[in-house]
Each structure stands twice: as structure tokens, then as C-alpha cells.
Homo-oligomer: A and B are copies of this chain.
Amino acid sequence: MTSWIRFDAPDAGGGFGMLVNDRVLEYEGDLFGEARATGVERHLGDLVLTSPCLPGKVVALWNNFHALAAKLDKAPPKHALFLIKPSTSVIGPGQAVVRPASYAGKIAYEGELGIVIGRRCTNVEPEQAGAYIFGYTCINDVTAVELLGEDPNFAQWCRAKGFDTFCCIGPAVQTDFDWRSARVVTRLDGVERQNYPLADMIFSPAEQVSMLSRDMTLMPGDVIACGTSIGVGTIKDGATVSVSIDGIGTVSNVLRSADGER
């Protein structure tokens, strides 16, 4: 059971390492290639965590849970339905989600499981897909919901979900994780708002990786956001959303207003 984090250290700048309780064993090189222990050991409390990976793209699924599909009265899709969140949307645990200066409408949280790709991946079978999954993380797939239907002719998924800071990832990438028995719990200012089982997924992680690998090459560090289930709601400026998955941890982020007042 290995948990990888990335961090900023006051004395040494950015780095990454393996989390063992509250100790961090520092590594150097490429997390997805050749990673070597430096021998340096740090204390978690001395570090500021950053996003545990730097995805070139985040592929975010829509309508991937039976419970939410039933609630929305949508048929389960035949193929994974997705949009792309750009790399510029990614932040790590503890960083602020910033309301876009141009948008005064509702902003929603969506707690999700994230799949982190470990190897370049094209046209793989579901049975092979596990070998391309490096690990799993927690995601808050933040959404400017009022933009989705703003234009009657074009659902603006990439715009509503693509703003800078709208993809919270962390705290770690967990390499050994059994999604079948885990739940996603989302709290808004400490109050539980989502608590759903990952076993309710329409497409399993292996099926997602296989399907998406037929749609585009997935690269090391790329992230698949597995979609959310029931309990999505809006975040007021100044509120904090925490997404927790047992065995991975919690990614927690405040929504800051555009002028920084809250």
C-alpha cells in the first residue's frame, strides 16, 4: 500500500515522495518512470501538499453512477460520456478554488474518484487496463453550473468545468486501492452532502481506461474523473468542500471570491 504525494518544502522547493504515516520519504526522477529514493526523510507537517500528479489532461465522466442516472431519469450510457478539463484547472489539497471574475452564478461541488494513468495507453482491452492504472486519488470536479445551459444550442461542459482551480486533486495517489468496497464522502463546511458507494459505477475503472484509450491516447499522469453520484450541491463563497475516500484520504478546498474578500 503506497501513497505518493507532491509537495513544496520551505527549504527545497517542489518535490515528491512516499507517505508513510506522517513521514515523507523523498524521491527524485519521474514518478511514472524511474523514481529513486534520495534518502531524505521529511515530516508531513513541514510540507505544503500540491496536486499529487500534473495531468496533461483530465477526462471527466458524466452519468457514470446508476443512482444518479435513475434520479435524473437518464438511461445508462453505452459508452463513457466525457469532457476534458485542461491542465490549467488543476490545484492540490488546501489550495483555494477561485470564483472566476466573470461569473457570479452558482458553483457546484462534485466528489469523485480519480484514476491516475501510469503508462502511455492506446486501444487496451479491459482485462489489460489495470496495468496502465498507476493509482487512485480524490477529486472535486468543480462546476459553474449556470453556464452549462446558457446557450440553447451548445452545452458548455468544457467551459463550466474548465476554469483555473476547478479541478481539486489529492491528497495522494494510492497505488493499492480496492474501489469495490470504498465510498466517496463529500462534506460542505463539515456537513456530509455525498456518501455513495463506488460499486455503483456504471463503467468500472478498467472499463473506463479501456474505452477512453480507444478514444485518445492516455499519457502518464493523466487523470480520469470517474463521475459523481447523488448529493451534488452548490458552494457559497468562503465555504470549504472536502472529498474523502477511505484508503486514499481527503482533498479539502475553500471557494474564494474573485475579489479575495472571502
Contacts and interface: CB of A to CB of B under 8 A. Distances in A.
Nearest to A155: B155
A122 B164 contact: yes
A88 B158 contact: no
B216 A84 contact: no
A82 interface: yes
A86 to B, nearest CB: 5
B81 A163 contact: no
Contact of A153 (B63, B84, B88, B122): B63
A79 B216 contact: no
Given A154-B63, A159-B82, A57 B214 contact: no
Contacts of A84: 57, 83-84, 86, 158, 162
A105 interface: no
Copies in the complex: 2
Contact of A102 (B57, B83, B214, B217): B214
Interface string A149-163: 011011111110011
Contact of A81 (B82, B122, B156, B215): B156
Contact of A151 (B81, B153, B217): B81
A164 B155 CA distance: 23
A179 interface: no
Interface string A191-218: 0000000000000000000000011110
A97 B16 CA distance: 38
Contact of A158 (B83, B87, B123): B83
A224 to B, nearest CB: 13
* Listed residue (A155, A216, A217) with the most chain B CB atoms within 10 angstroms of its CB: A216
Interface of A: 56-57, 62-63, 74-75, 77-79, 81-84, 86-89, 100-102, 122-123, 150-151, 153-159, 162-164, 214-217, 219
